[in-house]
Amino acid sequence: MRFWRNTSKSHKVFKPLLLFFPMLNLKPPRLATYMLTINGVLLLGYAYYWGSLVYLFFGLLNLILAYGVGRENRTAIKVALVYISINFFIALFYLISGNLYSAVDVAISFFTMHDILSYIQMIYKEETTEEEKGA
């Protein structure tokens, strides 16, 4: 079920902004889908350049998770949140140790985590308000 259609009051407030910035309508986790896809394509590029099966595996995992998150599959969202959280902290450690190229991975992981967590929070609020109305 899609609970995100026309149920949010903030959607009415930001409607003029949505005309100019259609990406602001992030009710399904679109940003997370885009970021997982970008991360997957980058990892597939690394796999092609270095011939590594590990990069190939994680690139395909990112693309599969992007598809699942885009379809709003709850299991895929949970797996993506755990995977991206681990990826974020490992990339952050690399960034702290001096690898400046990890900043891209940290930014992608951060935006993906933020979008998934805000989506989970929105779904939780909608489900609790429906339960309160029904009880």
pLDDT at 4: 47
Domain ranges of the chain: 30-124
Q: HSE of 117 in the Cβ direction (CA atoms, 13 Å)?
A: 9
- pLDDT over 50 (residue 50): yes
User: What separation, in Å, do the N-terminal and C-terminal C-alpha atoms of the chain show?
Assistant: 20
Whether the predicted pLDDT of 89 surpasses 70 = yes
**Tokens standing for 60?**
């395909």
pLDDT at residue 18 tops 60: no
CA 73 to chain centre: 12
Q: Which residues, other chains included, contact 31 with Cβ-Cβ below 8 Å and sequence gap of 6+? A: 23, 111, 112, 115
